[in-house]
Amino acid sequence: MVSSPAYAQSYGDPEGSGVIVGAVNWLQGTLLGTVATTVAVIAIAAVGFMMLTGRLNWRHGAVVILGCFILFGAASIVAGIRSAATSL
């Protein structure tokens, strides 16, 4: 008995998806590039300052900061989930 991967487990891109893959890669580069990192740092600094001066609720500030961590840590989060799923 020889095992082979199921067709649903194929990780290749389907035919004709080159344009879509290129657009998604451009979007990922834009969202995780240096401009986005700079904007996120400024946003966290501004939110932190507003939280310290009492002009922003701590819960709303924590949501902004947590969102930035999830956005920039998404690749690590997905890698951890995939490794946990394959080890089962």
pLDDT of residue 7: 58
16 in the Ramachandran plot: left (φ > 0), alpha (ψ -120 to 50) or beta? left
pLDDT of residue 11: 66
Domain ranges of the chain: 27-86
Q: Kindly report, residue by residue over 8-67, the tens digit of the pLDDT.
A: 555 666 777 788 888 888 888 887 888 888 988 999 999 999 999 999 999 999 998 898
Say yes or no to pLDDT of 1 above 70. no
pLDDT of residue 37: 87
pLDDT of residue 6: 58
